[in-house]
Amino acid sequence: MNEERSKPEGQRSGHIQEPGSGGPAAGLAGLPADYPQFLAEIKARIAAARTRAVLAVNSELIRLYWEIGHEILEREQRAGWGARVINRLSADLRREFPGMTGLSLRNLRYMRAFARAWPVTLLDKLDDSAGRLWYAGQAVENGWSRNVLQAQIATDLRGRQGNALTSFDQAVPAEDRRRGDGRDRGILH
Protein backbone atom coordinates (compact mmCIF):
# COMPACT_ATOMS: atom_id res chain seq x y z
CA MET A 1 0.00 0.00 0.00
CA ASN A 2 1.27 3.44 -0.88
CA GLU A 3 2.44 5.33 2.21
CA GLU A 4 0.87 8.61 0.89
CA ARG A 5 -2.56 6.98 0.52
CA SER A 6 -2.47 5.56 4.03
CA LYS A 7 -2.29 9.04 5.59
CA PRO A 8 -5.53 10.80 6.55
CA GLU A 9 -6.85 13.21 3.85
CA GLY A 10 -5.76 16.37 5.65
CA GLN A 11 -2.14 15.18 6.01
CA ARG A 12 -1.37 14.24 2.39
CA SER A 13 1.28 16.15 0.40
CA GLY A 14 1.22 19.82 1.18
CA HIS A 15 -1.95 19.93 3.26
CA ILE A 16 -1.79 20.77 6.92
CA GLN A 17 -4.96 20.44 8.89
CA GLU A 18 -5.58 23.01 11.58
CA PRO A 19 -6.81 21.50 14.81
CA GLY A 20 -10.54 21.85 15.14
CA SER A 21 -10.94 23.37 11.66
CA GLY A 22 -12.00 20.21 9.93
CA GLY A 23 -10.35 21.34 6.67
CA PRO A 24 -6.95 21.84 5.10
CA ALA A 25 -5.12 25.13 5.60
CA ALA A 26 -2.02 26.34 3.80
CA GLY A 27 1.07 25.72 5.88
CA LEU A 28 3.38 28.58 6.68
CA ALA A 29 6.52 26.44 6.50
CA GLY A 30 8.86 27.80 3.86
CA LEU A 31 6.96 31.06 3.41
CA PRO A 32 8.47 34.47 4.21
CA ALA A 33 7.83 35.76 7.72
CA ASP A 34 5.89 38.75 6.40
CA TYR A 35 3.51 36.58 4.36
CA PRO A 36 0.59 36.74 6.86
CA GLN A 37 0.79 40.55 6.88
CA PHE A 38 0.98 40.61 3.07
CA LEU A 39 -2.06 38.34 2.85
CA ALA A 40 -4.00 40.53 5.29
CA GLU A 41 -3.16 43.66 3.26
CA ILE A 42 -4.24 42.07 -0.02
CA LYS A 43 -7.48 40.82 1.55
CA ALA A 44 -8.18 44.33 2.89
CA ARG A 45 -7.53 45.86 -0.53
CA ILE A 46 -9.83 43.36 -2.22
CA ALA A 47 -12.57 44.03 0.34
CA ALA A 48 -12.17 47.80 -0.09
CA ALA A 49 -12.28 47.51 -3.89
CA ARG A 50 -15.40 45.38 -3.69
CA THR A 51 -17.04 47.95 -1.41
CA ARG A 52 -16.12 50.77 -3.81
CA ALA A 53 -17.55 48.77 -6.70
CA VAL A 54 -20.84 48.20 -4.87
CA LEU A 55 -21.06 51.90 -3.98
CA ALA A 56 -20.34 52.88 -7.58
CA VAL A 57 -23.04 50.54 -8.84
CA ASN A 58 -25.52 51.87 -6.28
CA SER A 59 -24.66 55.45 -7.21
CA GLU A 60 -25.19 54.73 -10.90
CA LEU A 61 -28.49 52.97 -10.23
CA ILE A 62 -29.74 55.90 -8.18
CA ARG A 63 -28.73 58.25 -11.00
CA LEU A 64 -30.45 55.98 -13.55
CA TYR A 65 -33.65 55.80 -11.48
CA TRP A 66 -33.72 59.58 -11.07
CA GLU A 67 -33.15 60.08 -14.81
CA ILE A 68 -35.94 57.64 -15.71
CA GLY A 69 -38.29 59.37 -13.29
CA HIS A 70 -37.27 62.78 -14.64
CA GLU A 71 -37.93 61.67 -18.23
CA ILE A 72 -41.34 60.28 -17.27
CA LEU A 73 -42.24 63.57 -15.54
CA GLU A 74 -41.04 65.62 -18.47
CA ARG A 75 -43.04 63.58 -20.98
CA GLU A 76 -46.14 63.70 -18.80
CA GLN A 77 -45.95 67.49 -18.81
CA ARG A 78 -44.87 67.96 -22.43
CA ALA A 79 -46.77 65.18 -24.19
CA GLY A 80 -49.59 64.45 -21.76
CA TRP A 81 -48.49 60.93 -20.92
CA GLY A 82 -50.86 59.06 -18.64
CA ALA A 83 -50.94 55.88 -16.60
CA ARG A 84 -51.37 53.69 -19.71
CA VAL A 85 -47.99 54.70 -21.09
CA ILE A 86 -46.20 53.99 -17.80
CA ASN A 87 -47.93 50.59 -17.56
CA ARG A 88 -46.71 49.74 -21.06
CA LEU A 89 -43.21 51.09 -20.35
CA SER A 90 -42.92 48.83 -17.32
CA ALA A 91 -44.06 45.76 -19.28
CA ASP A 92 -41.71 46.50 -22.18
CA LEU A 93 -38.70 47.12 -19.91
CA ARG A 94 -39.30 43.94 -17.90
CA ARG A 95 -39.58 41.95 -21.13
CA GLU A 96 -36.34 43.47 -22.47
CA PHE A 97 -34.42 43.04 -19.17
CA PRO A 98 -35.92 39.89 -17.59
CA GLY A 99 -33.15 39.43 -15.02
CA MET A 100 -33.24 43.01 -13.77
CA THR A 101 -35.39 43.92 -10.81
CA GLY A 102 -36.73 47.41 -10.19
CA LEU A 103 -38.67 47.94 -13.41
CA SER A 104 -42.15 47.21 -12.11
CA LEU A 105 -44.99 49.70 -12.47
CA ARG A 106 -44.71 50.50 -8.77
CA ASN A 107 -40.98 51.20 -9.07
CA LEU A 108 -41.45 53.42 -12.13
CA ARG A 109 -43.93 55.43 -10.07
CA TYR A 110 -41.35 55.62 -7.27
CA MET A 111 -38.77 56.86 -9.78
CA ARG A 112 -41.19 59.54 -10.92
CA ALA A 113 -41.89 60.54 -7.31
CA PHE A 114 -38.14 60.61 -6.60
CA ALA A 115 -37.54 62.96 -9.53
CA ARG A 116 -40.51 65.13 -8.51
CA ALA A 117 -39.30 65.38 -4.90
CA TRP A 118 -35.68 65.99 -5.91
CA PRO A 119 -35.54 68.15 -9.02
CA VAL A 120 -31.82 68.09 -8.40
CA THR A 121 -29.65 70.24 -10.56
CA LEU A 122 -26.67 68.37 -9.15
CA LEU A 123 -27.60 65.25 -11.10
CA ASP A 124 -28.38 67.12 -14.30
CA LYS A 125 -25.49 69.55 -14.52
CA LEU A 126 -22.53 67.79 -12.90
CA ASP A 127 -20.81 64.60 -13.96
CA ASP A 128 -18.32 64.10 -11.12
CA SER A 129 -19.29 63.05 -7.62
CA ALA A 130 -16.73 65.35 -5.96
CA GLY A 131 -18.35 68.35 -7.62
CA ARG A 132 -21.82 67.18 -6.62
CA LEU A 133 -20.75 66.80 -3.01
CA TRP A 134 -19.07 70.20 -2.96
CA TYR A 135 -22.09 72.04 -4.40
CA ALA A 136 -24.50 70.08 -2.18
CA GLY A 137 -22.48 71.07 0.89
CA GLN A 138 -22.39 74.71 -0.20
CA ALA A 139 -26.13 74.72 -0.90
CA VAL A 140 -26.89 73.35 2.56
CA GLU A 141 -24.37 75.59 4.33
CA ASN A 142 -25.51 78.74 2.54
CA GLY A 143 -29.22 77.95 2.20
CA TRP A 144 -29.23 78.29 -1.59
CA SER A 145 -32.43 77.91 -3.55
CA ARG A 146 -32.47 75.74 -6.66
CA ASN A 147 -32.08 78.83 -8.87
CA VAL A 148 -29.08 80.06 -6.90
CA LEU A 149 -27.54 76.58 -7.07
CA GLN A 150 -28.04 76.53 -10.84
CA ALA A 151 -26.42 79.95 -11.19
CA GLN A 152 -23.45 78.93 -9.04
CA ILE A 153 -22.90 75.81 -11.13
CA ALA A 154 -23.29 77.73 -14.39
CA THR A 155 -20.66 80.26 -13.30
CA ASP A 156 -18.34 77.54 -11.94
CA LEU A 157 -18.23 78.81 -8.37
CA ARG A 158 -16.21 75.80 -7.29
CA GLY A 159 -13.49 76.53 -9.83
CA ARG A 160 -13.52 80.24 -9.06
CA GLN A 161 -13.26 79.71 -5.30
CA GLY A 162 -10.51 77.20 -5.75
CA ASN A 163 -8.41 79.89 -7.42
CA ALA A 164 -9.28 82.76 -5.09
CA LEU A 165 -7.20 83.55 -2.05
CA THR A 166 -9.38 84.61 0.86
CA SER A 167 -9.47 84.69 4.62
CA PHE A 168 -13.26 85.04 4.66
CA ASP A 169 -13.85 81.74 6.44
CA GLN A 170 -11.43 82.66 9.22
CA ALA A 171 -12.47 86.33 9.56
CA VAL A 172 -16.27 86.02 9.49
CA PRO A 173 -18.14 83.74 11.90
CA ALA A 174 -20.06 80.90 10.25
CA GLU A 175 -23.45 82.23 11.39
CA ASP A 176 -22.77 85.55 9.64
CA ARG A 177 -21.59 83.84 6.45
CA ARG A 178 -24.89 81.95 6.26
CA ARG A 179 -27.07 84.99 6.96
CA GLY A 180 -25.62 87.26 4.34
CA ASP A 181 -24.38 90.76 5.06
CA GLY A 182 -25.79 91.09 8.59
CA ARG A 183 -28.28 93.90 7.88
CA ASP A 184 -31.08 91.87 9.43
CA ARG A 185 -29.28 92.03 12.79
CA GLY A 186 -28.17 95.65 12.68
CA ILE A 187 -24.51 94.86 12.00
CA LEU A 188 -24.37 96.97 8.84
CA HIS A 189 -26.40 100.12 8.32
Per-residue b/e over 80-91, b at no fewer than 16 CB within 10 Å?
ebeeeebeebbe
User: What is the reported pLDDT for 90?
Assistant: 95
Looking at 101, 118, 135, the residue that finishes a domain is: 118
- Residue range 42-81, pLDDT digits in tens: 999 999 999 999 888 887 888 899 899 999 999 998 888 8
Q: Are 36 and 101 in the same domain?
A: yes
Q: Are 112 and 125 in the same domain?
A: no
Q: Are 52 and 127 in the same domain?
A: no
Mean pLDDT (the chain) is 77
Q: Are 87 and 101 in the same domain?
A: yes
Q: Are 128 and 74 in the same domain?
A: no
Say how many CA atoms lie within 13 Å of 76 toward its Cβ: 16
User: What is the reported pLDDT for 127?
Assistant: 79
Q: Are 36 and 88 in the same domain?
A: yes
- Residue range 138-150, pLDDT digits in tens: 887 887 877 888 8
Q: Are 103 and 143 in the same domain?
A: no
Assess if residue 88 is contained within a domain: yes
Q: Which residues contact 177 (CB under 8 A, 6 or more apart)?
A: 141, 142, 168, 169
Q: Are 64 and 97 in the same domain?
A: yes
User: What is the reported pLDDT for 162?
Assistant: 74
Distances, alpha carbon 104 to alpha carbons 54, 64, 94, 108, 122, in Å: 23, 15, 7, 6, 26
Residue 77 is part of which domain span? Answer: 32-118
- Residue range 101-133, pLDDT digits in tens: 999 999 999 999 888 877 777 767 787 878 887
The number of folded domains in the chain is 2
> Is the model's pLDDT at 18 over the cut of 50?
no
Q: Are 128 and 56 in the same domain?
A: no
Looking at 118, 141, 160, the residue that finishes a domain is: 118
Q: Are 36 and 114 in the same domain?
A: yes
How many other C-beta atoms can be found within 10 angstroms of the C-beta atom of residue 17? 16
